[in-house]
Amino acid sequence: MRKILTWIISLIVIISNFGLTNALAAETGEMSIHPYEWDGENEITQYWYIYNLDKGDSHQDKVVVENTGNKTISVKIYPVDGLTTSDGAFALENEDEEKNDIGAWVTLSKNELTLEPKQSEIVDFTISIPSDTTPGEHIGGIIMENKEIMEGEQINVKTRVGVRIYETVPGEVVKKVNIESITTKSVFSSIWSIFYDHSFTYNLANEGNVQITPTINTNINSPLFGEVNNTSQTLNGSIFPGKTIAFDYKPDSKLYFGPYTLTVTVNLEGQAPMQKSYTLWSIPWKLCAIIVIIVLGLLSFIYLGEHKPSNPPEKPKKVTKKPSKPKTKITTKKANQKTKSTTKKPRLKKK
C-alpha cells in the first residue's frame, strides 16, 4: 500500500511540474533540471528538448541538474517514456516502467550524483534514433529523483522533477484515432432510488504518429423517449502517438426503461469522423417488483370478490339430548313393587 501511495505522490509532483502552462524549468524547493543551452529562436527550448532527428541519427546533448536547497542531496538521473493523463496532459513514466520510446533511446553519462547546497552539474547524454522506428512524434524525458524518501505514518513521499524531450521523426504524417472498449456501470444512488444512475467508459487510442486534439460528441437515443442526451467537448490537452486515454461519461438525464443507444463520434481536423455505438437495456427491477406486487394484489382482490358466496349457510341448531334413566333401576323398582304386592298378608274376617 505504501509503495502505491509513494508512486501516486511522485506522479502528482511530476504532473505539477509538467503542466502545459508552466513555462519554467522543472524544479522544486530543493532541486532543478533543465537543458544546458537553447537554440536561440524557440524560447521553449530553454526548458524542453525539441528534436527532429531522422531514423538512425544520434545527437549529443547536455542537461543541467542543480541542488537549489540548503542541504546536501543524493539524486538519481534516468530517462523514461512519456504518457498522456486522463485529461490529456503530459506526464512521465516511473523508473521501473518498460521503456519503448525516448526512455530506451537516451543514454546518460552519469546516473547518480551527490550535490552540495546550491551546486549544479552538467551531465552529458546521447539520444539515438533506431533505424526501424516509425515516423512521427515521440515523447519522453529525463528524471532527477531525490534518493531520500520522506516517510510518514500513512504515506511515503518521493520527490522527482523532469525535463521533457520531444522528437519528431520525419515521414508521412498519419492521424488516426480508434474508439475502444465501451462499457457501462449501473448503480442506485441510494437505497430509496427506484431508477439506476448509468455511466459509460470508453477509450480513445491514438493510432497515428502525431499528437491529436479530438472533438468528442456523445449522443444517447431511445426508441421510447427519443433523444435523451447530446454533449460535445474538445480535449484540453492532447493524445500522443501510441497512447490511450479513458473517458468517463455520465448522462444528465435518467435512463428510465427500455433500450438506449450511446453513440460516440470523434472528429479530427482534416479527417473523416470516427463513430462507435453501444446499446444498453435499462430495467429498473425495483419498479418492476413494485408493479408485480400491485398487480398480484389486484388480481387476488378481484378473484376473491367473484368467488364470494351470495347467501352464507345457516348455522346448525344445537340439539340437547336429555339423559334417560338407567333401565336397571326401573326394572329393580318394579320388581320390588311386585314382590311387595304379592307378599301382602291377607286380612282375616271377623266372626
The CATH homologous superfamily for domain 177-285 is Immunoglobulins (2.60.40.10)
Non-local CB neighbours of 106 within 8 Å, separated by 6+ positions: 79, 125, 126, 127, 140, 142, 165
Share of the chain above pLDDT 70, in %: 79
Identify the pLDDT of residue 6.
44
Identify the pLDDT of residue 339.
47
User: DSSP strand E in 93-249: where?
Assistant: 106-108, 112-115, 120-128, 136-146, 150-151, 156-157, 160-169, 177-187, 197-206, 215-222, 226-234, 244-249
pLDDT, average across residues 156-177:
91
pLDDT, average across residues 293-298:
87
Whole-number average pLDDT of the chain: 82
Who wins on pLDDT, 140 or 26?
A: 140
Examine the pLDDT at 235 and tell me if it is beyond 50.
yes
Identify the pLDDT of residue 86.
76
**Domain segments of the chain as ranges:** 2-169, 177-285
Band of residue 14 on the pLDDT scale cut at 50, 70, 90? very low
Identify the pLDDT of residue 8.
40
Identify the pLDDT of residue 131.
94
Separation of alpha carbons 159 and 305, rounded Å: 79
Band of residue 157 on the pLDDT scale cut at 50, 70, 90? confident
Class of domain 2-169: mainly beta
pLDDT, average across residues 302-312:
71
Who wins on pLDDT, 1 or 237?
A: 237
Domain 2-169 identical in fold to domain 177-285? yes
Where b means 16+ CB within 10 Å and e means fewer, 62-71 reads ebbbbbbbee
Examine the pLDDT at 87 and tell me if it is beyond 80.
no
Separation of alpha carbons 243 and 178, rounded Å: 11
Band of residue 24 on the pLDDT scale cut at 50, 70, 90? very low
